Amino acid sequence: MGFVSAMWTKEEWKPMNKSSESFFNPMDVFEKIKIPALVFFGDLDKNVDPFQGRDAYKKAFQKANNPNYKVIMIEGADHNIIISETGCETERYARTKEGWSDYDPEYLQVMEEWLKELKTKSHAEFLNHCKKQSPSTDPAAYEYLYDGLPASVNGVCNVIKKQLIHPMEASQMKDKLPPDRYYEDADFPTVSEMLAGLVSRNDNGLVNDRKPEERLVVACHHHGLLLASILRSQGVPVRVRAGFARYFEKKAGVRFGHVICEVWDENEQQWILVDPDRNMVDFDADKFEFSYKAWLDLRKNKLDDVEYVSALSEGDHAILHILMQDLSCVLGEEKPYWHEPEFLIENVDDINKLNDDKLIVFDKIATLLSNPDANLRPLQELYTNNNFLHPDTHVFADWYEIRTGKSFDDFSKEFE
């Protein structure tokens, strides 16, 4: 968003600078601005023609196809939007001091109301964004399976854990599962494919008495997708988030990459953290480190003394991998974690080896992800304007072999 007081327009500047072909035309800038903008003019302005300026700004925003702008004319105000009788600078300079009380009350009131309206509109826009199914969460022909599911987040999480088994849990249930069923992420990359797989193994629906051999063995990413899909079908805003879980940090000695969901609590008017994989609802924020914090701490050399790991990577690479996955989730794409940008396919063991232009973009992403409610559009524009962020569509087996240098035939050994 932006605030602007009166500036010289092209038409006003040229007559004063006939001998110069070089001048700054603010309209060249405002004709490209698409963010919310509020412009003030005082009708007693003696520095510029306020009425000509008002019309020039309106035309500029219209040319930019900016749907969210206001150009306000304040009566009885000078160039600085201060209460005035004449609009002359000498009147303002005659004051012994200048404070907020000197500004026209309408100026402050309009600004306050505009900010509140903008915040409300932006928040509503983001909530609507989080209600929409993505290609990854759309249940498609299997939405009927959601009929009759619990309306509570706790109830939905309980249902999910009766349908899905995490690969680490599967390693402890070998006597209850068919041979070689150890990791099915690549077989069921989307919710519609997950639901089709569940129906093929038990067509009674998302039942609580589903046997282990009838469930899917998939990781946290898939748990998050299914929770988001079910709740969105109920009209609940959900955003999938990637970060680092700290639940077993002391026991495992690592901070591992993990996917959870943020669910909008309408009663409390706030986001709550939900981990459908661990069946945890509204847990404390200190148990989960968001991707943006890990990245910004890495850049400042302020990481906690613990090893960061994610899917087939560790250290700097793991943090950058999770940052890119989190970006995909917040933008509503929620792509499989093996669909990485090309620059990440090779091992990034030290971010200092990346060029400065990329590092600046990653810093911007992390900063914006710290408050996604207010920064959806800037994140979308940043993603659109930087092609190197766009993921390549890899087959899981190829991604595994490129990332590890091992044959995919040996993949099962990772879970023995």
Q: Which residue has the higher pLDDT, 263 or 405?
A: 263
Residue showing tokens 């925003």: 61
Asked if residue 52 belongs to a domain, the reply is yes
87: left (phi over 0), alpha (psi -120 to 50) or beta: left
Q: Is 293 in the same domain as 218?
A: yes
Q: Is 225 in the same domain as 277?
A: yes
Q: Is 187 in the same domain as 156?
A: yes
State mean pLDDT over 297-323.
94
Residue showing tokens 């077993």: 248
Asked if residue 168 belongs to a domain, the reply is yes
State mean pLDDT over 220-243.
98
Domain C-terminal end among 77, 102, 130:
130
Q: Is 329 in the same domain as 196?
A: yes
User: Which range has highest mean pLDDT (15-19, 98-102, 172-176, 366-370)?
Assistant: 366-370
| Residue 317: pLDDT over 90 | yes
Q: Is 118 in the same domain as 202?
A: no
Burial per residue of 221-233, b for 16 or more beta-carbon CB atoms within 10 angstroms, e otherwise: bbbbbbbbbbbbb
The total domain count for the chain is: 2
Q: Within 10 A of 273 (CB to CB), how many other CB atoms are there? A: 19
Structure tokens at 95: 């004051």
Mean pLDDT is lowest, of 217-226, 288-297, 351-360, for: 351-360
Asked if residue 48 belongs to a domain, the reply is yes
Q: What is the pLDDT of residue 15?
A: 46
Q: Is 247 in the same domain as 377?
A: yes
Q: What is the pLDDT of residue 1?
A: 46
**pTM, whole model, 2 decimals?**
0.78
Q: Is 25 in the same domain as 144?
A: no
Q: What is the pLDDT of residue 122?
A: 75
CB 296 within 8 A of CB 308: no
| Residue 233: pLDDT over 50 | yes
Asked if residue 135 belongs to a domain, the reply is no
Q: What is the pLDDT of residue 413?
A: 59
Q: What is the mean pLDDT of the chain?
A: 88
Domain C-terminal end among 87, 103, 130:
130
Q: What is the pLDDT of residue 335?
A: 94
Q: Is 68 in the same domain as 173?
A: no
Angle between helices 356-369 and 372-384 (to 10 degrees): 150
| Residue 264: pLDDT over 60 | yes
| Residue 252: pLDDT over 60 | yes
Asked if residue 27 belongs to a domain, the reply is yes
Domain C-terminal end among 89, 108, 130:
130
| Residue 113: pLDDT over 80 | yes
Q: Is 218 in the same domain as 275?
A: yes
CB 194 within 8 A of CB 222: yes
Q: Is 150 in the same domain as 125?
A: no
Asked if residue 116 belongs to a domain, the reply is yes
DSSP SS3 for 277: coil
Q: Is 410 in the same domain as 384?
A: yes
| Residue 16: pLDDT over 50 | no
Q: Is 296 in the same domain as 248?
A: yes
- For 362-390, write each residue's pLDDT tens digit: 999 999 999 999 899 899 999 999 999 99
Determine the structural domain holding residue 84 and report its residue range: 2-130
Complete edge-to-edge strand list for the sheet that includes strand 69-74: 2-4, 37-42, 69-74
What gap in Å lies between CA 22 and CA 25, rounded to an integer? Answer: 9
Residue showing tokens 């200190």: 286
| DSSP string for residues in 309-373 | EETTEEHHHHHHHHHHHHHHHHTT----TT--BHHHHS----GGGS-HHHHHHHHHHHHHHTSHH
